[in-house]
Amino acid sequence: MARRMPTLIEELVDWLRIPSVSTGDADPEAIRRACNWVCERIEAAGGTAAAETVDGGNPMAVGELRAARPGAPTELAYGHYDVQDPGPLDAWESPPFEPTERGGRLYARGAADDKGNFLPLLHVACELARSGELPVNVRFLVEGEEEVGSASVLRRLRDEDPGADCAVVFDSLMADERTPAISLGARGMARASVEVRTGERDVHSGLYGGAVLSAAHVVLAMLAEIAPGRDGRVRGELAAGLSRLSADQRIVVVLRDAFGFSYEDIARTASMPVGTAKCYVHRGRARLRAGLEAAATATGSSDTRSPAADGQP
């Protein structure tokens, strides 16, 4: 009798039970187990996989499933198995590492970020590989440091070309619970450490406060120089390379926010899927609002609020 393969939900529950916390009091053993869990599934589907580390960091599950035909393109499937510390346990309705179903939803730390997101990629690729129907080569890169900066995976990607034609990342949002959204790019992140010193030694605030330049005030002034202005726009240097909203995107946002059209009405009017209309609105509101406020300032108008500004979704 053939052994029954675990279902997607059974696999997810099994993975979610591993407390692979990378922040705060991380458990190295749980981190290793969560990484090996991924490798074992790739190998069981006929692929190759190994837990790799960079400079002593948390291990990454690096593996590959080969396509059923030669010459197929290669996809890089990225995910992360690490999760954030659950925080106060009494704030949870159910234990964070005991997956619990309530109202058709599965609650656990990592259920939405990112084990629950990534697992369908892994599960489907493994099932297709087992049946000899995998249409592309799939290379996996599943890290254990996403919640703490991704130092290892960034180092690996800088030092070694993943050799992929595209990358798929299931670690983002949907337009709603039934409408998937495809993100074509991300704005990324820039980090810096700045030390400001305004004197050679500490001085008493009662004697010198207000007279001597405060390092905290200098930092606040520096941040004010780079923060968006009241019009919602950032400095020109920081906006370099940004693309403007397309005509379709501007129309959709105006229909929704200025005229109160429903997403379904917009979709019919603009001949686009409802999910596309929602994505256009969420992405374009901030930019359009800045433009409306600038136009109002130029014409002397004092009210540029849209329905969204009054709390409507």
Name residue 189's amino acid.
M
Exposed e or buried b per residue across 73-83, where buried means at least 16 C-beta atoms within 10 angstroms of its C-beta: ebbbbbbbbbb
Residue 171 annotated in active site: no
- Three-state SS for the chain is CCCCCCCHHHHHHHHHCCCCECCCCCCHHHHHHHHHHHHHHHHHCCCEEEEECCCCCCCEEEEEECCCCCCCCEEEEEEECCECCCCCHHHCCCCCCCCEEECCEEECCCCCCCHHHHHHHHHHHHHHHHCCCCCCEEEEEEECCHHHCCHHHHHHHHHCCCCCCEEEECCCCCCECCECCCCCCCCCCCCCCCCCCCCCCCCCHHHHCCCCCCHHHHHHHHHHHHCCCCCCCCCCCCCCCCCCCCHHHHHHHHHHHHCCCCHHHHHHHHCCCHHHHHHHHHHHHHHHHHHHHHHHHHHCCCCCCCHHHHCCC
Q: Please tell me which residue in 82, 143, 145, 147 is annotated as part of the active site.
A: 82
Distance CA 99, CA 110 (A): 10
Q: Please tell me which residue in 75, 114, 146, 257 is annotated as part of the active site.
A: 146
The residue count of the chain comes to 313
- Packed helices 28-44 and 8-16: angle between N→C axes, nearest 10 degrees: 160
Tell which residue, 307, 243, 310, 242, has the closest CA to residue 281.
Answer: 307
Residue 146 annotated in active site: yes
Active site residues: 82, 146
